[in-house]
Structure formats: C-alpha cells, structure tokens
Structure 1
Amino acid sequence: MMNSWMLRWVGLGLCLALGACSQPPTASNSPANPASVTPTPQPNVARVIALTSLTADLVQRLDGKKLVGIPGSSLLRQDQRFKALPTVSEGRTSPNLEAIVALQPDLVIGASSFHADVAKRLNESGIRTLLTEVNSWENLETLTTTLAATLSADPEPLLQEYRAFLADAPKMAPSTLVLANPKPLLSPNKASWAGDTLARFGAKNVAADLQGGAEFSGYALLSPEKVLEVNPEVIILVSTGEGVVEQFKSNPIWNQLKAVSNNRVYVLDYYGLVNPGSIDAIKQACTTLKQQVFANQPGIR
C-alpha cells in the first residue's frame, strides 16, 4: 500500500501533467497532425467542452454561451458560473467519452500531456479537438488568442488583465526556491509555469537551470544537500494538501536555511503558481508575490 507522501507524489504528477507543460495549442482532425501546427480559427464553433479548469475558465470568459461541458475540478465547483454545466470527468479518471459525445460538441479542448488518447478517439468519431499546454505566460497569451479566434471573440480584455497582473512587479527580487513537494523535494526550473512567473518578477530562481530526476518536464528533484548549497534568501512552499507545510518543516535541514532564519518562507496555493488553474488563481498568486513575498513582508516560522 502506498504511503501518504507517495500518494501525494502521484497526485502532483497528474496535476502537473494536466496543467503545466510546454507546447503551444495544437488542433487536430486526425491524430497525425504535427504538434507545431497552429489551429486555423473556425468561427462556426458553437458547442465547446473543456477538459481542464484553465481552458474552461477561458472559454467561459470569452463566450460563456458556447461552453457545454467541464472537468470535475475544485476550482470550478467553487465558481457559480459553472454550477449548471455537466462534468465529463472527475478526479484522476479519464474523461467519459460517452458523456462527451452525448453533449454533441463542435470542439473539445484538453491537455496534450494527458488527453492525447481521448483526442485520438474523439477525432476518429468526427469530433474536433484542441490540445494545449501552458508553462509560460507566452503560452497563456497564445492560447487565449487562439481560443478567441476559434470562438469569434475578442482576446484583448483578457490580455490586458494578464498585463495588469504583472504590472508593478519588482525588477530585481531575491534568490528564490519554490518547493512543490516535500518528499522527495521537487522544484520547478525555468521551463515551467512557476519558473517563468518567478522570472517575470525578477527573482533569481536558484533551480532555474537544474535538471534531472523528476518525471515531469520543467521540474528537478533536489537533495537536502543541494538545497543547503543554494541556500536561497526566499523559499516558497506549495500547498497541495493538509499537513504539507509541516512535512517541509520536518526536514532536518530546515533550521539551517537562510530563508527560515530571516522569516522569508511563504506558502502559496498550488493553483496559480504551479498549475495556472484559472485566471483568478493566477491573479491571486501574482498579488501575493507582489504584496507579500517580494515586498519583504514576514513569512512563516
């Protein structure tokens, strides 16, 4: 039987696969479409199913009348805008193909790292799919523009929101380490959403160029000795569940770290920092970075 940290590791891996990878959006009517193809806008799209919380949020904001199905996500369950919409997936299970087909979508949007098999089967049934990945702000802007063109909507209000989130970000910020998992220690490098966000805030991500060990692109496994070696001025812990912060603090090296001594350890939610999740989650992460983390406000002991 898996112990608790291993279960969290598996769950985090699935979440990373769903929300924080590297490719721009790609469309397909056949599984053979190359990943580099940018989809041709098709304004006749009237019924859309989104298989990730971020794409559901984007479609709802661009043209909510066209969204007819969503994933089972804690972010969406908490949002009144999605209360009346049927879910076509739940938790870690693969989307329900029968439920998707029954909703008669013109387009199904998923994550290329997790929904490729589903997309292939939908394509074979004559349902068009759009596979996306978002691990940078540039990816987010490209995805927004692509969806707006597909839905015959205006992307500019959302693009302006993104710029506002990053407005007044510091030009220079202290050396920073994001720890996304306590056992084993997992940190995002520069090829991840979190890594790109740190760069936008002028932070020196001490894991930016680290590679190896992690199953997921954009992340590196760290030994306690490596964390002591880089010894950042700021540490950001990612909250992925109850008791996670205590697990970080139970590491024998904890009290030897500069960030701990200077009370510069902060806790941010998984959504917004590691997995973009939704526009509101991104906004909250940026606000916390600006007003607390990089404003030199006290953190946790």
Structure 2
Amino acid sequence: MKHTKILLLISMLLTVILLAACSSSTTNQSEPASILVTDESPEAIFEPQQMIDASGEQLEFQSKVEKVACVVSLCVDIVAELGMEPAAIGESGVRTIATAEEFYGEHGTTFPSIGGSFFEPNLEDIITVKPDLVIGLLGVHDSLREGLAGAVPVYLAQPKTYTDSVKLLEDIGKLTGRTEEAKAAAEKFLRKLDEAKQKAPKDKKALIMYGSDVNFSIVTDSGLGGSVLKEVSNYPFKVNDPSEDPYGEGSIQYSLEKLLEENPDVIFVESYSYSPGTKALSEQMQELPLWSKLKAVQEQNVIEVRSPIWGDGRGTRSLGILLDEALEALYPDLF
C-alpha cells in the first residue's frame, strides 16, 4: 500500500513536469511570430512612378518625394492637403496663401523663401533647399525645367476644372507616398460639393470677375471657379467663341454692357493689384455709370474675395473655401 502511494506520487509529479515542458515548448514556438517586425507593409514600399504633367512631359520617380518647392499657390494647396510642409515657397501671392488661417497660419511665415518674381523664381534659392520636386504653373514656369535640368524635376500643372484639381492631388499623393491623405482630402471636397448640390436651389445667378482695372475679365463655366459655382448656382457665362479663350483657361474679357444683360444676383470680385495704392476692382468699377445699374450692386451683393485663394489656389482646399464662401453669400438662409 505504501509502495502504491509512492508510485502514485511519482506518477503525478511526472505528469506535472511533462505539462510544464509542453507549455514552455508551445510558448517558445509562438514567441518569434508575435515579436517579428517587418517593413514590408504596403505603406513602407514605394513603387516607382511615371507621371505626365500638363505640358505632356513624362517624369519618372524612383524614390518617394519628400521635399516639394512651391513657386505657385496651387503647390501650397496640394502639400497642405497631403499633410506636408513646402520645402520653400515663392513670395507675393504664394506666401499669402501659405499664411492664410486655413493653411499654415503664422507658421507659413517660417518657410524658406524663393526670391525673384512669380514669373522668374530664383534658381539658386530653389537648388539651395535641395527639393525632390518643384511644382509650377504651365505657361508661366516652363523655363524652370531648363534652368533646373539635372538638379530638380519640375512638374508643370494647369487644372482647368475641379476634377482636374482632384486628379492632380491624387497624382502628387502617389509621388509623395501619401495616397491615403490624397484620397481623404479629395473625398472631403467632393462630399462637400455633392451635399451643396443637393441643398442649393440654384435660383441665384452668380459671377466671378477679376482684374486690376476696369478692363476686367470673367471666369466662365469652363473655368476652375466657374466649374464649381455652376454646380450650385445659375452660372450662364460661357465661352461661345474659342477665339475668345485661345488657351482654354475658361476666362474671357467682358464688358459692362454684356454684364448688364445677364444682370447677376451676386458678383464675386478678385482684385489684382500690381502697384501700391491701387484700388480694389469693385471700387474702380463704381466710377463707371453702368455699374450702378447692376442688380448685385443695388442690393449690395458685390463681394471682394481673397484672390490668392479664389483665383490662385486652384487646389481642393482652396476650392472648398470658395464653395463655402460662395454658398454663404448666395443662400445665407441655407448655409
């Protein structure tokens, strides 16, 4: 009986030891799988990209674009939407949009500067910051490609409608490895526009006009701002003769006589001043007798807008701001 108890105890001890050994073996086998870390996730891999810009130039990128130099406000809009900061920015309007509260605010004053003029940015300033890409405007910054050849690739852009702006954002998102940020920003803008289209009665006639003096031009429904406003308002301004808009930019010179025929309910004015002391365009127009006959003038619905955003921003963030401000002016009881 005594031996039986001893054998029983020995058997129980062996069982406990075997169970502990099995448990230890299982734990050791699972540990490597749980602590294995790899950089082979889709987000960590950059696929070489080929892009064709607005000039028809094919650009190739073997590595992710980390630093973008901006010589046009559109570029600032794009990098802001992607959650990045520009490596350097041009002055004047480009700096103005960067410091707008919807973009970088006061922090926008700290970005390195690209001297020279808007039409001729300083090449040395661009090269100094060692960007991976420069984004410029087609028809304005074409010569940068030759000046920066072998140093920095130049992407020339010229979105003509809001769908072009969305596509451009997505393309730069691919180059910077920020496809998710691009998708989120594009969806935010398109969702806002779709909701506005459903809600806006479109019973107000709107117009965007711009200029530095009384020889003004207007944005047609095939222009960037017009492509947005025609979705939420009565926007009858079109390019009827291709010779009026030879570059297909969706803008044409106009006259007060023709403007009086359409007689819009709300006029949005983009003033561009090239010399100190120049009056806003709407103030200059007040000096013309026909101006006072316009319905928008009589009902005090002539609105000076922020030209760097409405006219120069061109990206989805700027267009979203344009949409918000236009809806508030057109339908104050609904938006």
Q: TM-score, normalised by structure 1?
A: 0.75
1:292, distance to aligned residue in structure 2 (A): 1.9
Q: Tell me the distance in 2 between the aligned counterparts of 1:41 and 1:81.
A: 30
Aligned pair partner of 2:165 in 140, 144, 152:
140
Match of 2:64 in 1: 44
Q: Tell me the distance in 1 between the aligned counterparts of 2:167 and 2:58.
A: 10
Stretch deviating more after TM superposition (288-297 or 210-219): 210-219
Q: Tell me the distance in 1 between the aligned counterparts of 2:65 and 2:232.
A: 37
Aligned pair partner of 1:174 in 204, 208, 211:
204
Give yes or no for contact 2:70–2:89 (8 Å, CA) kept in 1: yes
- Relative to structure 1, the CA distance from residue 204 to residue 38 in structure 2 (aligned partners, 3 Å threshold; closer, same or farther) is farther
Question: Which has the bigger relative contact order, CA under 8 A and spacing at least 6?
Answer: 1
Match of 2:293 in 1: 256
Give yes or no for contact 2:135–2:155 (8 Å, CA) kept in 1: yes
Aligned pair partner of 1:75 in 97, 100, 122:
97
Give yes or no for contact 2:137–2:157 (8 Å, CA) kept in 1: yes
AA at the equivalent of 1:179: M
Within 5 Å, give how 1:1-301 maps onto structure 2. 26-27=52-53, 35-36=55-56, 42-64=62-84, 67-72=86-91, 73-78=95-100, 79-92=105-118, 94-123=120-149, 125-153=150-178, 154=180, 155-166=182-193, 167-169=195-197, 170=200, 172-181=202-211, 182-207=213-238, 209=240, 217-240=249-272, 242-276=279-313, 281-295=318-332
- Relative to structure 1, the CA distance from residue 202 to residue 36 in structure 2 (aligned partners, 3 Å threshold; closer, same or farther) is farther
1:196, distance to aligned residue in structure 2 (A): 1.0
Give yes or no for contact 1:63–1:151 (8 Å, CA) kept in 2: no
Q: Percent identity?
A: 18
Give yes or no for contact 1:240–1:269 (8 Å, CA) kept in 2: no
1:132, distance to aligned residue in structure 2 (A): 0.8
Give yes or no for contact 2:97–2:309 (8 Å, CA) kept in 1: no
Q: Tell me the distance in 2 between the aligned counterparts of 1:272 and 1:99.
A: 25
- Relative to structure 1, the CA distance from residue 294 to residue 63 in structure 2 (aligned partners, 3 Å threshold; closer, same or farther) is closer
1:145, distance to aligned residue in structure 2 (A): 0.3
Stretch deviating more after TM superposition (232-241 or 206-215): 206-215
Secondary structure of 2:64's match?
coil
Q: Tell me the distance in 1 between the aligned counterparts of 2:109 and 2:267.
A: 37
Q: Tell me the distance in 2 between the aligned counterparts of 1:130 and 1:257.
A: 42
1:43, distance to aligned residue in structure 2 (A): 4.2
Q: Tell me the distance in 2 between the aligned counterparts of 1:142 and 1:38.
A: 16
Stretch deviating more after TM superposition (38-47 or 125-134): 38-47
1:148, distance to aligned residue in structure 2 (A): 0.4
Q: Tell me the distance in 1 between the aligned counterparts of 2:234 and 2:57.
A: 33
Q: Tell me the distance in 1 between the aligned counterparts of 2:286 and 2:333.
A: 21
Count of residues in Structure 1 that have an aligned counterpart in Structure 2 = 265
Q: Tell me the distance in 2 between the aligned counterparts of 1:69 and 1:249.
A: 39
1:114, distance to aligned residue in structure 2 (A): 0.8
Secondary structure of 1:109's match?
strand
Q: Tell me the distance in 2 between the aligned counterparts of 1:255 and 1:82.
A: 40
Q: Tell me the distance in 1 between the aligned counterparts of 2:267 and 2:81.
A: 34
1:143, distance to aligned residue in structure 2 (A): 0.8
Give yes or no for contact 2:269–2:305 (8 Å, CA) kept in 1: yes
Give yes or no for contact 2:65–2:132 (8 Å, CA) kept in 1: yes
- Relative to structure 1, the CA distance from residue 171 to residue 144 in structure 2 (aligned partners, 3 Å threshold; closer, same or farther) is farther
- Relative to structure 1, the CA distance from residue 60 to residue 224 in structure 2 (aligned partners, 3 Å threshold; closer, same or farther) is closer
1:226, distance to aligned residue in structure 2 (A): 1.7
Tell me how large the CA RMSD over aligned residues is: 3.0
Match of 2:16 in 1: none
Q: Tell me the distance in 1 between the aligned counterparts of 2:84 and 2:332.
A: 37
For structure 1, the 5+ residue unaligned runs are: 1-24, 28-33
1:279, distance to aligned residue in structure 2 (A): 5.5
Give per-residue Cα distances to partners, 1:155-189, cap 9 Å, x unaligned.
12211221244232425242333221241131112
For structure 2, the 5+ residue unaligned runs are: 1-50, 274-278
AA at the equivalent of 2:255: S
Secondary structure of 2:145's match?
helix
